[in-house]
Homo-oligomer: A and B are copies of this chain.
């Protein structure tokens, strides 16, 4: 045979699991999209079609739902760790498990204070939610039976500074027509991944929920507080701020589309469009600048793959 098999992995993707827990009349919700990917001793299923080593993807789906009941969902990271450990330790041919999870956040609906109809009591219903719809929280757990890699992050967090952004002093070649800008809008849709330095069961895990809230906060603050001469500079500030404040994180990678807001030329209509005085912008779709980069803690090696998008 003049060909052979390279890296391969398989599993059930996008298992949409919702777990409701009740604390009296107060309910809590965890809403996840879980994708399982397994690899190991899988040559034969590719070469001959023998499934003797194959745990069906349908079984991996069942396991996700059963584990949500048996172990609960303390955090996406903790849930992914339970799953990854299970697949690697319970199935001999499986040597490596990667669990990817998207998490959708919900907030409570503030009610009118009239109580539920049945009870007429003052107690507010605590089982009503509206989906936040802002960023999607992400995590990826990889386990090979010996050590762990946890990479968390987010996508689709859209942010804008309406000033404090400039762009000038760049290279000009024969194809350059862009005028320099000293007061522009800077907007992007953040896709970020950060890698934890927790890798082995002997060490205490980070508080995954607290870590996410704090990392997100530092990311947003660095975006807001950086007077930006380039989106690359803002990227580096966001990554550095996270690593400075969060000892559990060693590496951050960003993919930042520059969501262009072009100052509209209103001259033909006898209007000035000064930024200082209520400017009007065209929010463009395509093309867009795409700025991608990794920020690392001193002494650490990069392990997050380069491509967070396929464009």
Contact = CB atoms under 8 A, between A and B. Distances in A.
B46 A127 contact: no
Nearest to A25: B163
Contacts of A185: 18, 20
Interface string A24-67: 00010101000101000010011111111111111101110110
Contact of A170 (B51, B173, B280, B291): B51
Given A3-B298, A175-B269, A162 B27 contact: yes
Contacts of A156: 133
Interface string A284-311: 1111111111111110001001111111
A16 interface: yes
A interface, by DSSP: helix, strand, loop or mixed?
Answer: mixed
Residue among A169, A170, A177 with max Cβ neighbours from chain B (10 Å):
A170
Given A91-B171, A221-B109, A294 B5 contact: yes
B57 A10 contact: no
Contacts of A229: 48-51
Contacts of A266: 65-66, 69
A223 B290 contact: no
Contact of A290 (B12, B280, B289): B12
A57 B90 contact: no
Interface string A109-121: 1111010111000
A257 B269 CA distance: 27
A128 interface: yes
Given A10-B232, A225-B125, A251-B6, A177 B58 contact: yes
Q: Which 4 A-B pairs have the closest CB atoms?
A: A49-B229, A6-B294, A8-B293, A128-B224
18 contacts: A2-B240, A2-B244, A3-B236, A3-B297, A8-B294, A10-B290, A12-B287, A18-B261, A19-B280, A49-B228, A51-B170, A53-B171, A62-B175, A62-B177, A69-B264, A112-B221, A130-B157, A133-B135
